[in-house]
Amino acid sequence: MLNRRSFVMGAALAALPLRGALANVPTPYDWGASPPTASRQAFVDWMVKNRGEDANFLGQRYDRYLKLVAGKDLWDADTTRAYLMTPREEFVTHDNLARAYEGHFLTIGFGVTITGPHSVCRMTDTLAIKRDDRVLEIGTGSGYQSAVLSNLTPNVFSIEIIPPLAQRTRAIYDSLIARGYSEYGAITTKNADGYYGWPEHGPFDKIIVTCGIDHVPPPLLQQMKPDGIMVIPVGPPGAQHVLKVLKKPNGDGSFTAARSDIYYGQIQNFVPFTGGHQGVSAL
Ligand SMILES: C[S@@+](CC[C@H](N)C(=O)[O-])C[C@H]1O[C@@H](n2cnc3c(N)ncnc32)[C@H](O)[C@@H]1O
């Protein structure tokens, strides 16, 4: 008979993404190297040669890239490179492998999801990440978002609250690093409640929250540098506005948190921000 713990772990293992069939990355990671975008074939050929990835998934990645640009979810050259360099097929569960490049979120077990590529790209682009930025993610989930971030800066910190999911995603990163995806060595992970941030690694230039909450957590705002940017889905369960929060110093030691809606009023639906913060005063 299965006890609850072994059942949960069994479910986690059954949902693990397929791996092993793909080749190791043949070329060392190079921050200066970018795949060509002028044509689907040129992109696929470059990626097969330099990254050893599957041509079928690469073609789907390119097709989604065109839709991301058309939907105004992807505009910056560095974020474009980060999206194109990240194998989303490695982060979905094997039952969803054929759907890896669909536009919306997919379930990954534990009642949570891998965020859709349109939201990932719009939120990442809004952060305007520079190479030496320190970036904190709340909600590691599948690991896909931080994998994208690791192509923008080598200083990525990510917190996941569900212990077996945090463990599973850490194992995915470690196995990808062993296959030659050395960029994922830049991702430091931990299993904790992200509401309280990660002060030991702060302050952060950028923070991305990938779960929905009814207020901006004060500890996250405190751990942001002056002129830092946070993106965060704020609102009631199932109906958030994804806000860009800019921490502007007032010059007297205080600061203003200037907010704007990156979807111009359109409601988005994110997995809930869980943990024990209920009743904490809102900012
Ligand atoms: C939309 S999902 C995953 C997003 C992830 N970036 C991805 O693309 O796979 C949001 C994640 O936030 C996690 N989460 C919820 N509340 C959290 C908290 N208080 N601290 C850390 N992670 C949390 C959930 O467990 C879930 O894995």
- Residue 136: CA atoms inside 13 Å, Cβ hemisphere, count? 28
**Ligand 1 geometric centre to CA of 65 (Å):** 24
Higher-scoring residue by pLDDT: 123, 9: 123
Mean pLDDT taken over the chain:
92
Q: Please identify, by atom number, the ligand 1 atom nearest to the C-alpha of residue 143.
A: 9
149 touches ligand 1 (CB under 6 Å): no
**Ligand 1 geometric centre to CA of 211 (Å):** 5
Contact 243, 262 (CB under 8 A): yes
Query: pTM score, two decimals?
Result: 0.92
Helix (H/G/I), strand (E/B), else coil: 258: strand
117 touches ligand 1 (CB under 6 Å): no
Q: Give the number of other CB atoms < 10 A from CB of residue 83.
A: 23
Confidence of residue 279 (pLDDT cuts 50, 70, 90): low
Contact 44, 59 (CB under 8 A): yes
DSSP one-letter code for 260: E
SS3 content of the chain, % helix, strand, coil (to 5): 35, 20, 45
Q: End-to-end CA distance of the chain, in Å?
A: 48
Q: Please identify, by atom number, the ligand 1 atom nearest to the C-alpha of residue 195.
A: 19
Tell me how far apart the alpha carbons of residues 238 and 256 are, in angstroms, rounded to a whole number: 28
pLDDT tens, residue by residue, 230-258? 999 999 999 999 999 999 999 998 999 99
Q: Which of 82, 24, 93, 83 is nearest to 53 (CA)?
A: 24
Delineate the domains of the chain, giving CATH numbers in brackets.
Answer: 12-261 (3.40.50.150)
Residue 11 pLDDT greater than 60, yes or no = no
